[in-house]
Amino acid sequence: MPLFDGLVVTSIESHLFLFMPNTTAPEPLNYFALIKRLQRDPAESKSDAGKVVLIGGAPGMAGAIVLAGKACLHLGAGWTILEMLDPASAHCVPEQAELMVRLAKPDAAAQLAELKPDCIAIGPGLGNTSIAEAWLSAALSYPTVPLIIDADALNLISQDESLLTLLRHRNQTFPLLTALTPHPGEAARLLKSTSAHVQADRLGSIHALVELTQSIVILKGQHTLIASPIDAPVQCLQGNAGMATGGMGDVLTGSIAALAAQGVRHALDLWDASCLAVELHASAADALVAQGVGPLGLTPSELILEMRSLLNQHY
């Protein structure tokens, strides 16, 4: 990246980004106090806890959306609905019968209009097909609710300028209602860069991602970073190497969705929900290792239950 009068200048396709080099470490996450906002009046119903629609689970990848759904359910969402792209997997999950599983039909916009979600999350196991693109386009066009974009949905945006345009338009119309959760590889594809470059300058990369997408961005990895168009980066100092296993990102997506859906009626916006979910996610991994569970062999399913325990300890 060339320097001009102290400004870092980087060009990504047609986008030009300028930002000051930042040698100061971001502030650490400290959001557990916000859990008190989720306290429920005894007369509240599941409507007050929010309806989440999770979209993904293409053939061979149903586990990703089920993990996201389990995290969403265990962290308190009132309804957790899975729109599953794989017809063979779109049935009741016996070990988690509380999940409402539907076959994702091609008329995605009509399906979302019928469901009236309080929060949408898309990406875990979504795949790269025409129906995946249709559901992503419909999610990006759905107004006023928090939207979390992960995994294959990020890859689709990186491949299609029209989807990126839809994302930017959503953020202009409904600011701070969309969160992206890339790992370094997904971040690199969005930035037309490489994972090595992203990792070599994580602060610069998250600034560029926010500028490119105008979204809340959660750049996963050691010391996960979170930033938005109006929020300076913060970092998560918790977490351990046991989290480097398939499914951990899906759990994070479902966790953000659960907290954001509850936050609609409990004064917790998408930024707060994202920061709290990241801190819970990493803190639960550390708590499990302290108990002798992992780091080797630590599973996302175990993490979900520990996150629920931590959430309720601070409730």
Helix (H, G, I), strand (E, B) or coil at 275: helix
**Structure confidence by residue, pLDDT tens digits, 175-189:** 999 999 999 999 999
- State residue 304 phi and psi, 5-degree precision: -55, -45
Helix (H, G, I), strand (E, B) or coil at 161: helix
Across 201-236, b (16+ Cβ under 10 Å) vs e yields bbbbbbbbbbbbbbbbbbbbbebbbbbbeeeebbbb
- Burial of residue 18 (CB within 10 Å: 0-12, 13-18, 19+) is exposed
pLDDT of 4 over the 50 cut: no
> For tokens 């539907």, what's the residue?
102
Angle at 223 between CA 285 and CA 118, to 5 degrees: 70
**Structure confidence by residue, pLDDT tens digits, 44-88:** 999 999 999 999 999 999 999 999 999 999 999 999 999 999 999
Share of the chain above pLDDT 70, in %: 93
Detail the DSSP E strand segments found in 134-185.
147-149, 178-180
Q: Which residues pair with 53 in a beta bridge?
A: 81, 120
Angle at 159 between CA 157 and CA 164, to 5 degrees: 35
pTM of the model: 0.93
> For tokens 């209009």, what's the residue?
113
pLDDT of 3 over the 50 cut: no
The domains of the chain, with CATH numbers, are 10-20+43-313 (3.40.1190.20)
Could you tell me if 144 and 264 are in contact, meaning their C-beta atoms sit under 8 angstroms apart? no
**Structure confidence by residue, pLDDT tens digits, 255-270:** 999 999 999 999 999 9
Residues 6+ apart with CB under 8 A from 293: 302
Residue 192: band (very low, low, confident or very high) from pLDDT cuts 50, 70, 90: very high
Helix (H, G, I), strand (E, B) or coil at 1: coil
- Burial of residue 237 (CB within 10 Å: 0-12, 13-18, 19+) is middle
DSSP state of 26: P
